[in-house]
């Protein structure tokens, strides 16, 4: 299991083997899946799903070594809420030497991703069809090189802002599992989400590297971005670096 000097960093949140029970907000199922999508789930998901993430499989919340997921000590990236999977598949194909774990509780999105993985023929991906917090509970300290939050659910009502990913409940566990110097990318077309991102992420142990309306050099436009552009909203892209 990979170790890091960051494990003794008093500013780094400690690994919690018994995290509190938490609520989940959002949809797990959408419209009826097509027969092909049901096939992807039944035939492909089992081999791509990382073991030891769920409480049922790992009630003691023992750390899960990413090298066990990918079979070697390659750099590991994390995509939080991969939607339809366009970005995740693009990055996996562009960077075959890394491994990407994608988290998405919406089963329709998982089925879409699996279809894209099969079409692209990539093998450096792992798919957790659930809450990213469950994965972050068991990842070792400083085990993630890069993380992505691409067009997350905006939760636009003020009383729901605490459900956004860019809150301490999510960001502190993310900071724990990211290596010092690791990159965290956020894309959104919702101005208030970007405002909260700018405020909350640095407080969790990150520094801002870039804050712009121009995408990254290796970016692929997703269906969520294309929808935003059609409806006249301006996407924004913020890059952070894990300090420590």
pLDDT in tens, 170-216: 999 999 999 999 999 999 999 999 999 999 999 999 999 999 999 99
Q: Is residue 57 part of a domain?
A: yes
User: Among residues of the chain, what percentage have pLDDT more than 70?
Assistant: 86
Instruction: Give phi and psi for 141, each to the nearest 5.
Output: -55, 140
Cα angle 216, 79, 193 (rounded to 5 degrees) comes to 70
- Is residue 100 helix, strand or coil? strand
Q: Is residue 138 part of a domain?
A: yes
Banded model confidence at residue 154, pLDDT cuts 50, 70, 90: confident
Angstrom distance (rounded) from CA 94 to CA 80: 19
Lookup: tokens for 146: 């890069």
Q: Is residue 191 part of a domain?
A: yes
Q: Which burial class, exposed, middle or buried, applies to 19 when counting CB atoms under 10 A from its CB (0-12, 13-18, 19+)?
A: middle
Cα pseudo-dihedral 166, 181, 145, 149, rounded to 10: 20
Kindly report the CATH number assigned to the domain that includes residue 154.
3.40.50.150
Predicted local distance difference test score (pLDDT) of residue 21: 54
Rounded to whole angstroms, the Cα distance separating 77 from 46 reads 20
**3-class state of residue 1 by DSSP:** coil
Amino acid 243: pLDDT: 96
Average pLDDT of 28-33? 60
pLDDT tier at 24, thresholds 50, 70, 90? very low
Residues 44-103 have pLDDT tens digits of 898 999 999 988 899 899 999 999 999 999 999 999 999 889 999 999 999 999 999 999
Q: What is the pLDDT of residue 1?
A: 29
Query: Strands, E, within the chain: which ranges?
Result: 76-80, 99-103, 125-128, 144-150, 178-188, 206-212, 236-242
Is position 81 within any domain? yes
Q: Which of 242, 205, 206, 241 is nearest to 10 (CA)?
A: 205
Q: Which amino acids are annotated catalytic?
A: 153
- pTM score, whole prediction: 0.85
Q: Report yes or no on 97 lying in a domain.
A: yes
**What single DSSP character describes residue 56?**
T
Q: From CA 235, how far away is CA 191, in angstroms rounded?
A: 9
Query: Cβ atoms within 10 A of the Cβ of 226, count?
Result: 12
Q: What Å distances lie between residue 38 and 33, 120, 123, 190, CA to CA?
A: 6, 18, 20, 33
Secondary structure tally for the chain: helices H, strands E: 9, 7
| Domain membership flag for residue 132 | yes
> Quick check: 188 and 235 in contact, CB under 8 A?
yes
| Structural domains of the chain, count | 1
Q: In the chain, helix, strand, coil percent, each to 5?
A: 35, 20, 45
Determine, yes or no, domain membership for 22: no
Residue span of the structural domain in which 48 resides: 28-242
Give the phi and the psi of residue 47 in degrees, each rounded to 5. -75, -20
User: Per the domain annotation, does 62 fall within a domain?
Assistant: yes
Q: Answer with the residue of higher pLDDT: 30 or 62.
A: 62
């Amino acid at each position: 299991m990979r170790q890091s000097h960051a494990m003794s960093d008093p500013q780094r949140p400690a690994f919690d083997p018994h995290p509190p029970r938490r609520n989940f907000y959002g949809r797990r199922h959408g419209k009826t899946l097509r027969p092909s999508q049901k096939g992807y789930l039944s035939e492909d998901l089992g081999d791509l799903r990382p073991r030891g993430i769920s409480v049922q499989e790992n009630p003691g919340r023992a750390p899960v070594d990413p090298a066990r997921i990918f079979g070697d000590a390659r750099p590991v990236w994390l995509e939080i809420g991969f939607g339809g999977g366009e970005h995740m598949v693009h990055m996996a194909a562009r960077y075959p030497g890394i491994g990407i774990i994608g988290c998405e509780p919406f089963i329709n999105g998982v089925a879409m991703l699996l279809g894209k993985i099969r079409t692209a023929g990539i093998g450096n991906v792992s798919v957790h069809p659930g809450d990213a917090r469950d994965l972050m509970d068991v990842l070792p300290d400083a085990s993630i090189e890069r993380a992505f939050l691409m067009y997350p659910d905006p939760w636009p009502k003020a009383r729901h802002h605490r459900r956004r990913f860019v809150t301490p409940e999510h960001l502190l566990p993310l900071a724990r599992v990211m290596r010092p110097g690791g990159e965290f990318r956020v894309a959104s077309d919702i101005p208030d989400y970007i405002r909260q991102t700018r405020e909350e992420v640095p407080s969790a142990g990150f520094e801002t590297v870039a804050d712009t309306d121009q995408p990254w050099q290796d970016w692929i436009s997703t269906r969520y971005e294309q929808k935003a552009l059609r409806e006249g909203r301006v996407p924004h892209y913020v890059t952070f670096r894990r300090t420590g």
